[in-house]
Amino acid sequence: MQNSQPQPKNPWIGVIYIVVSALFYSLMSLFVRLAGDLPVFQKSFFRNLVASFLGLGILLKSRSLKMKKGSLPSLLARSIAGTVGILCNFYAIDRMNISDASILNKLAPFFSIVFSAFLLREKASAKDWILVAVAFSGALFVVKPSFDFSKSIPATLGVLGGLSAGLAYTFVRKLGKRGERNAVIVFFFSTFSCLTMLPFVIAQYEPMTWAQLGFLLLAGCSAGGAQLSVTAAYTYAQAKEISVYDYSQVLFTAIWGASFLGEFPDWWSVLGYAIIIGAAVIKAFSAHREKRGKTKEERG
């Protein structure tokens, strides 16, 4: 008989899983770059193809492919936003330092604050809005706006990727509140993304070497490992307790960029990293203090 007791919370196990997830996502960025000069649709297709089979496997194991009633609109919205986010992120990865592209994608939690306020009616405090503004100011040091379109367009799309990911996370949160299973969300999004990109892949298809195919499949496996790790992380701890550790991805991508690609972020980018991560740390500690205060009130 299956044990129906809730799994005990352990924030430190959650931290380990979220760091492992960040490691996998950083490897995904590296493998996408190592796959070479291929159309972004082609790279995104193979990345999501692996995740689609992974989600299907989990659903088949559970012996249920059903989604909850009323989930379809949010699943579609999550999938559209997620697909746009991946395309923008991969475009930025191919044309920027991978650590720069990574930190711009990590603006997603701040965009989630904005979208949650409007879509989920979750009230954001004045401090939250200030931290959003601080994070975006940090992004300017990474983007370094200029009239050099070869640099400004990838950076702008990197920010758009973070915005799209933030919107996608907001709909994931909405689905989670409805009790929708994570495997359903992963499978629906990955399959939707593959199907919508397939015509573009066929139209722009570039022949691949075995090495390129291998790197794309490794990118897909890394993304799948990251999604599983994230899911595990949040069974042990709340997002408020561990989400800040997800920014370790920026450190990992900087290491891979220096080691394998000869990329070193300039001092302006490093300053931008510090501002964005600093805002995330303040946000995490504020959330932790709020939780501790509420716990004391309940006990008192």
CB 54 within 8 A of CB 224: yes
pLDDT score at 4:
42
DSSP state of 247: G
Residues of the chain with pLDDT under 70: 1-10, 146-148, 231, 234-235, 237-241, 288, 291-300
- Give, in degrees to the nearest 5, the angle at Cα 222 between 14 and 269: 80
Q: How is residue 27 written in tokens? A: 């490897």
Each residue of 258-271: b (16+ CB within 10 Å) or e? eeeeebebeeebbe
Domain range annotation of the chain: 11-299
pLDDT score at 237:
66
Q: Side chain identity at 217, as an amino acid letter?
A: L
Cα distances (Å, whole numbers) of residue 68 to 47, 143, 169, 171, 173: 26, 41, 18, 14, 15
In angstroms, rounded to a whole number, what is the distance separating the alpha carbons of residues 136 and 159?
9
Q: Under 8 Å CB-to-CB from 253, ≥6 apart: which residues? A: 26, 29, 30, 98, 99, 101, 102
Q: How is residue 183 written in tokens? A: 């495997």
pLDDT score at 72:
94
pLDDT score at 234:
65
Count of CB atoms situated within 10 Å of the CB of 126: 7
In angstroms, rounded to a whole number, what is the distance separating the alpha carbons of residues 114 and 22?
23
Model pTM score:
0.84
Cα distances (Å, whole numbers) of residue 100 to 108, 133, 152, 278: 14, 19, 12, 16
2 in the Ramachandran plot: left (φ > 0), alpha (ψ -120 to 50) or beta?
beta
